[in-house]
Amino acid sequence: MTRPASDSPPLFDLDTKPDFSIERKRLAAGEGPICGLDEAGRGPLAGPVVAAAVILDEGSIPEGLDDSKKLTAKRREALYDVIMKQAHAIAIASVAAAGIDDHNILRASLEAMRRAASLLSVTPGHALVDGRDVPPGLACPATALVKGDSRSVSIAAASIVAKVTRDRMMSRCCTVHPNYGFGAHMGYGTRRHLEAIESGGAVARIHRMSFAPLKA
């Protein structure tokens, strides 16, 4: 006897791995090439928000792609190198702290993704965007996917490229402002970071003055 499907919501999210199935459907519909869009750095008190756009080569998809937050720093770095070698096209863009303060972090994140997509050397036919919002002004149709970096390998690849790029930027900031520890916390509001702000003040053009406690 066939068991009826349950209409009860799951009690917890299953730990799914991204694949190429969403991209494959779009490609079959003649909407390729497909690019994944994601950003890194929405939550920190310092540094830019960085976005990446990635068009994967269907015949050479790196193994182990996943949401960058689920990967160790070492694994992200390794996958970053593979993505850079095997992807069909990659572009990276950012919006600095001042731009985040002038608008807001959501608008800045969407703008960074729009810029990244516009910089691709290959014009995408469709974009898959992590999150609930499609960046305004994209030159192609797009679909927003909640938890997209756990569903689409194109978005997962973009999340890795964006995260590694931003971490490297914050590590370089640390060489100029070592007392703040940017290379350790990447701009997030850790105790060490907050204590450094308390003692040394905010760093111009690096800290986001619209974020609490800096705003206060």
Q: Does domain 21-166 have CATH number 3.40.50.150?
A: no
Residue 11 pLDDT > 90, yes or no? no
pTM score: 0.91
Domain edges within the chain: 21-166
- What are 25-65's pLDDT values in tens digits? 999 999 999 999 999 999 999 999 999 999 999 999 999 99
State the Cα–Cα distance between residues 53 and 48, nearest whole angstrom.
16
Grouping H, G, I as helix, E, B as strand and the rest as coil, residue 41 is coil
3-state secondary structure 13-26: CCCCCCECHHHHHH
- Rg of the chain in Å (alpha carbons): 19
Mean pLDDT value across residues 77-100: 98
